[in-house]
Chain A
Amino acid sequence: MVDIPYEGIPGIPPAEVPDVELYHPRSWWTRYVFSQDAKVIAIQYSLTATAIGLVALVLSWLMRLQLGFPGTFSFIDANQYLQFITMHGMIMVIYLLTALFLGGFGNYLIPLMVGARDMVFPYVNMLSYWVYLLAVLVLASTFFVPGGPTGAGWTLYPPQAILSGTPGQDWGIILMMSSLILFIIGFTMGGLNYVVTVLQARTRGMTLMRLPLTVWGIFTATVMALLAFPALFVASVMLLLDRLLGTSFFMPSLVEMGTLSKYGGGSPLLFQHLFWFFGHPEVYIVALPAFGIVSDLISTHARKNIFGYRMMVWAIVAIGALSFIVWAHHMYVSGMFPQFGYFFATTTLIIAIPTAIKVYNWVLTLWRGDIHLTVPMLFALGFIITFVNGGLTGLFLGNVVVDVPLSDTMFVVAHFHMVMGVAPIMVVLGAIYHWYPKVTGRMLNEALGKFHFWVTFLGAYLIFFPMHYLGLLGVPRRYFELGDATFIPSSAHSLNAFISVVALTVGFSQMVFLFNLAWSLFKGEASGGNPWRATTLEWQTPETPPGHGNWGKELPVVYRWAYDYSVPGAAEDFIPQNQPPRATQLIQGAAS
C-alpha cells in the first residue's frame, strides 16, 4: 500500500481507443421494449425465463401429485404425465437456467463488471432476446396444439420421439425442434456478444487475471455453449427431417404400431451422441456461471479474498475443456461399443479433481473470514452443501460399472436435480438477493428472504436426498405408476407421498419470494450504491440503478484484482477495484 502515482503502475495501459458511440433511445419503445441497452435486455431475459420457469414449476407439482398419490387425480393420465416430465425438463435446463445465467446475469453483469459501457454489438444483443422470446412462445404454444406437447422425455430420443406410440407426435415434437432451433440462433447472437465484450471491451487495467470469477464463469460457459449448441442444432434439424420428410438419419428399419415403417438404415445411437455432445457441456454451461457467481458471493459476504484465485480460474477453464470429452457417460447402457466405457469413466472421474479444488477453495475462503450471514451468504452455503452432495453422487454414475444398476432409476433423477437443479438455483436466488439493490436501488426484505432460504434449502434437500435411496432400491424413472412390483415395499410409496408434500411446500414458498420481489420494488429499504461494501466495478457506478452507458463521463480505471477485502493496513475492509493506490487510506502507523 505504498503511495505511488498510478500512471506508472504496470498493467494500466493508456486508453488506446476512443470511447464508444452508444445508441441513444429516443422514445419509450426503444428505451424499454426494443432496447439495445444490455441492462434492459438482461431484465427482459430474466422476466421471460422466470415466466416460463413458473410453468415448469407447476408441471413439477402435477408430476409430484401423480407420483405421490397415484390413481387419486383423474385429470392426469399416462400421456400427460410424459408430457409434463418432458416439458419440465426442457424448460428448466434450457429455457430457464441457460437463458437466466447467460442472457440474464451475463447481460447485466458482464459490461458492468469489466467496465464497459454496453455489449459490443447492442443491436444483435437486442435481436438475441426477441428470438429467444419467439422460441419460448413456440414452446409454450405446444400446450395448445392438437395432441399437445411432446412426451418423448427431455432427451427426445428417436425412434420413439417421432413415432405414434408417443404423445405429441403430431405437432408437439415438430414445434419442440423448431423452438430449440430458434433458441440456439438467439443464443448464438447473444453468446458472441458476451465473448467479444469480455475479450475486447474491458476497461483500462482490467486484465484477464483481474476479472471477477463471475465473469470467468459466464465467459467460459458461453464459449462452451457456442461450441456445444451446434451439435443440438444439427440433431434437431436431422430429427425434424426424419419426422417431416421421411429421411432416416436416426431411424433403422422398424415396426410402427404393428406395421413395417418406411424408415431404414439410420442410427438411433447417432442422435444420442449428438445430443450428449451438447448435453454434457450443457451441465457445465449451467454450473460454471453458478461457480463464478457463488465465489463472488462468498468472498464479498465473508469479507475475505477468494482463496486460490488463480487455481479457481484454471479449474473453470479445465472443467470447461474436459466436459467435451465425457459425453458418453450418459450412454453406458445405451448399447454403444462397450470398450468406450473405460475411456469415458476415466475422463469423467478426472473432472472431479478440478471440481473438488473449487469446493475446497470455497470453504477455505470461509476460514478466518468475517462471515456475514446475509441472505446471499445463506444461499451460497446452501449451494455448497447441495453441490457437494450432487457432485459426489456423480462419482457413482460416472464410474461405468456402478452406473449399470443405477442408470434410468430415481437415483439419476435425484443426482441431477441436486447438482444441476437445486445447486444452481440456490446460486440464482442468492445472486438475486445480492444484485437486486443494484438493479432497483432497493433491498429485498431480509426476514422474508431468510424464510424463503430455509424452506427452499431444507425442503429441496428433503426431496432429493431420500430419492437417491428409491433409485438404489431400483425404482425406475419416467414411470406414470409403479404398479405391482414385488421388490418395491409399501414404505417406498409412503416416501413418495412425503416427497410430494415437501415439493408442494417448497413450490409455494417461491410465491413468498415473488411477493418479496414485487413488494420491495416499491417498499424496500433504499440501498445506496454499494450496500454490501463490495469491490467489483458494478458497485462503483455513479448512479444506482446504473444509467445508460453505465459510467457517466469517464470509464473507470482498474488498479487491482477483484478481491481486496480486509487488506492489512487499509482503513476499510474493502478496496474497490477502481481505487488508485494513492487514494487508499491507511490506518495510522500500519503503513509499510
Chain B
Amino acid sequence: MAVALILLLVAIGSVLFHLYSPWWWTPIATNWAYIDHTINITFWITGFVFVAVIAFMAYCVFRFHHKEGRRADYNPENKRLEWWLSVGTGVGVAAMLAPGLVVWHQFVTVPADATEVEVMGQQWQWSFRLPGKDGQLGTSDVRNIASDNPMGLNHDDQHAQDDVVIENGDLHLQVGKPVKVLLRSVDVLHDFYVPEFRAKMDMVPGMVTYFWITPIRTGTFDVLCAELCGAAHYQMRAKVIVDEEREYHAWLEQQKTFAELSPAKAVVKATFQSGGN
C-alpha cells in the first residue's frame, strides 16, 4: 500500500535525518550545557510521540483502506482510553517542563561573585564597557551621547571615570569566571547573540537587561544581532574572545578608560549642546 509506506517513510526518514544530520548545535562554550540536556530530553520525548502517531496512522491506512464491502466500526467514544491518553500526555509534558523550569531558575539567578560587563547596541555596531579599578560601572544616559562619549556615560559619576570603554573592538572575557552581561541599546531593539554561549537576550532602549554565563573554554566567537534592527541588521557583527587569566589581564591593560578617552571639559560642552536640541 503505497500511501501507508510513504507516510511511514516520512517518519523513519525524519528520525534518520535527526541521527545523521551534519547540522547540529555548535560546541558549547559556557556553563549552559543544562540547556542542551533539556533540548535532548525534549527531542527524545517528542520524537517518540511523533513516530508513534505517524506509525499508527500509517498502519490504519494500510489495514483499513477502502475495499469493496468494507464497513467501518461505529464507535463514538471510549472514555477510559481518552483519559489514559490525556494522563500519559500530561506525564510527558511534565517530564519536559520540570527540568526546563529548574534550569530557568538557574538561568535567572545570577551568582553573587559574577563580575559585570556591559554591551551596548546601536545601529549597527557593538560597544563594550568593563568596570575599572573600583569594580563598578558608572551610570549612563542616552542624552549624554556625543562624538567623544559614544556610550553616554554620566561625567559627574565618579564610578564612570575609570570604566574601560571599547569602541569598534572585540570583547574579551576570562575563562572560568562567571560574568553578568548587562545589555543596553540606544536606538532600537537588538539582541546580543553568541551561538556557542546558548544564552541571549534582547537589548531594549530605555531598559537594562541581562544574562549571565561562565565561559568554560577559550576561543574566538562570532557575535551576531538576533533581533531585527533595520537595514544592516545582518552586518552587525563583533567578536568575543575568551582568554586565560594572563592573556585577559594583558589585554585589559591596553584598553583606555572613559577619563582617558573623553577629557572632562569637552564632555561638559557636548552635553550642554545636545541638551539644547
Q: Which residues of A contact B (CB under 8 A)?
A: 78-79, 82, 151-153, 157, 159-160, 163, 165-167, 252-257, 259-260, 266-269, 302-305, 307-311, 333-335, 338-339, 341-342, 345-346, 349-350, 352-353, 356-357, 359-361, 363-364, 366-373, 378, 381, 384-385, 388-389, 392-393, 395-396, 399-402, 404-409, 458, 461, 465-466, 469-470, 472-474, 476, 478-483, 485-487, 489, 491-492, 495, 563, 565-568, 573
The answer on a CB contact under 8 Å between B142 and A254 is yes
Taking a contact as CB atoms under 8 Å apart, the answer to whether A359 and B22 are in contact is no
> Does chain A have a CB within 8 A of B64?
yes
* B residues near A349, Cβ cutoff 8 Å: 93, 96-97
Q: How far is the CA of A475 from the CA of B145 in the complex (A)?
A: 33
Query: Chain A's nearest CB lies how many Å from the CB of B25?
Result: 5
Q: Which of B57, B74, B89 contacts A568 (CB 8 A)?
A: B74
A566 to B70, CA, bound (A): 10
Cα distance A402–B32 in the bound complex, in angstroms? 11
Q: Please encode chain B, from 35 to 57, with 1 for each CB lying within 8 Å of some chain A CB and 0 for all others.
A: 10011001001100110011011
Which A residues are in CB contact (< 8 Å) with B107? 338, 401, 404
Number of residues of chain B lying within 8 A (CB) of chain A: 101
A159-B205, A483-B234 given as contacts; is B35 within 8 A of A404 (CB)?
yes
Minimum distance in angstroms from A327 CB to a CB of chain B: 16
Asked if B42 and A253 sit within 8 Å, CB to CB, the answer is: no
Q: For residues 41 through 97 of chain B, which have their beta carbon under 8 Å from a beta carbon of chain A?
A: 42, 45-46, 49-50, 53-54, 56-57, 60-61, 64-66, 70-78, 81-82, 85-86, 89-90, 93, 96-97
Taking the closest CB of chain A, its distance from the CB of B67, in whole angstroms, is: 8
Q: Contacts A303-B72, A308-B82, A474-B26: A341 and B108 contacting too (C-beta < 8 A)?
A: yes
Q: Is the CB of A342 within 8 A of B61?
A: no
A213 to chain B, nearest CB (A): 13
Interface hub of B26, B85, B205 (most chain A Cβ within 10 A): B205
Q: Which residues of B contact A335 (CB under 8 A)?
A: 183, 201-204, 207, 209
Q: List A contacts of B56 (CB < 8 A).
A: 363
Once the chains are docked, how many angstroms separate the CA of A220 from the CA of B46? 28
Assess the B233–A370 pair: CB atoms within 8 A. Answer: no
Whether the Cβ atoms of A367 and B77 lie closer than 8 Å is: no
Contact of A341 among B38, B104, B203 (CB under 8 A): B104
| Nearest chain B CB to A126 CB, angstrom units | 39
**B189 & A268 in contact (Cβ 8 Å cutoff):** yes
Query: Which of B142, B229, B277 meets A160, CB within 8 Å?
Result: B229
What 0/1 readout, one digit per residue, does chain B (99-115) give for beta carbons within 8 Å of chain A? 01101100110000000
Whether B49 and A392, one on each chain, are in contact in the complex, defined by CB atoms closer than 8 angstroms, is: yes
CB distance from A59 to the nearest CB of B (A): 17
Closest B residue by C-beta to A253: B142
B interface list, Cβ under 8 A from A: 3, 6-7, 10-11, 14, 17, 21-26, 32, 34-35, 38-39, 42, 45-46, 49-50, 53-54, 56-57, 60-61, 64-66, 70-78, 81-82, 85-86, 89-90, 93, 96-97, 100-101, 103-104, 107-108, 122-124, 141-143, 145, 183, 186-189, 191, 193, 195-196, 198-207, 209, 220-222, 224-235, 237, 274, 277
When distances are taken between beta carbons in the complex, the residues of chain B under 8 Å from A153 are 228
The answer to whether A359 and B53 touch across the interface, beta carbons within 8 angstroms, is: yes
- Which of A366, A473, A474, A483 is in CB contact (< 8 Å) with B57? A366
With the chains together, A371 CA to B63 CA distance in Å? Answer: 9
Given contacts A338-B108, A399-B100, A466-B17, 9 further A-B contacts (CB under 8 A): A160-B189, A166-B188, A254-B188, A311-B82, A342-B101, A356-B86, A363-B53, A367-B64, A566-B72
Q: Take A304-B73, A399-B38 as given contacts and tell me if A166 and B231 are in contact as well, using a CB distance cutoff of 8 Å.
A: yes
Contact sample, A vs B, 20 pairs, CB 8 Å cutoff: A255-B187, A304-B72, A333-B200, A334-B202, A335-B183, A338-B107, A356-B89, A357-B89, A368-B75, A370-B71, A388-B53, A395-B42, A399-B42, A399-B100, A404-B198, A408-B226, A466-B23, A469-B24, A480-B233, A481-B234
Residues of A within 8 A of B108 (CB): 338-339, 341
Residue in A256, A257, A469 whose Cβ sees the most chain B Cβ within 10 Å: A469
Residues of B within 8 A of A333 (CB): 191, 200-202
Q: Report if A259-B195 is in contact (Cβ < 8 Å); known contacts: A357-B89, A369-B60, A393-B46.
A: no
Shortest beta-carbon distance from B94 to chain A in Å: 8
A160/B64 in contact, CB under 8 A: no
A458 to B9, CA, bound (A): 11
Which residue of A163, A165, A568 has the most chain B CB atoms within 10 A of its CB atom? A165
Let me know if B209 and A405 touch, CB within 8 A: no
Minimum Cβ distance to chain B for residue A295 (Å): 14
Q: Whose C-beta in chain B lies nearest to the C-beta of A331?
A: B202
Is there an interface contact between B145 and A260, defined as CB atoms closer than 8 Å?
A: yes
Q: Which of A268, A392, A487 has a CB less than 8 Å from the CB of B195? A: A487
| Chain A: minimal CB distance from B75 (Å) | 7
* Known contacts A79-B231, A308-B82, A352 near B200 by CB under 8 Å: no
* Shortest beta-carbon distance from A203 to chain B in Å: 23
B14 to chain A, nearest CB (A): 6
Contact residues in A for B207 (Cβ distance below 8 Å): 252, 269, 335
Q: How far is the CB of A409 from chain B (nearest CB, A)?
A: 8
Query: Do A151 and B231 touch across chains, with their CB atoms under 8 A apart?
Result: yes
Chain A residues within an 8 Å CB radius of B237: 483
The reply to whether B200 and A407 form a contact with Cβ atoms under 8 Å apart is: yes
Is the CB–CB distance between B60 and A370 below 8 Å? no
CB distance from B229 to the nearest CB of A (A): 6
User: Is A396 within 8 A of B77, CB to CB?
Assistant: no
Task: Knowing A160-B229, A368-B73 are in contact, say whether A267-B96 is a contact too (CB < 8 A).
Answer: no
Give the most central of A303, A366, A470: most B CB within 10 Å: A366
Max chain A C-beta neighbours (<10 A), residue from B90, B222, B232, B233: B233
A165 touches B229 (CB 8 A): yes
A495 CA to B22 CA, complexed, in Å: 10
Cα separation A153 to B231 with both chains bound (whole Å): 11
CB-CB under 8 A for A253 and B143, given A335-B204, A366-B64, A367-B60: yes
Known contacts being A166-B231, A333-B200, A407-B200, is A268 close to B205, with CB within 8 Å?
A: yes
Q: Which residues of A contact B227 (CB under 8 A)?
A: 157, 408
**Which residue on A lies nearest to B224, using beta carbons?**
A476
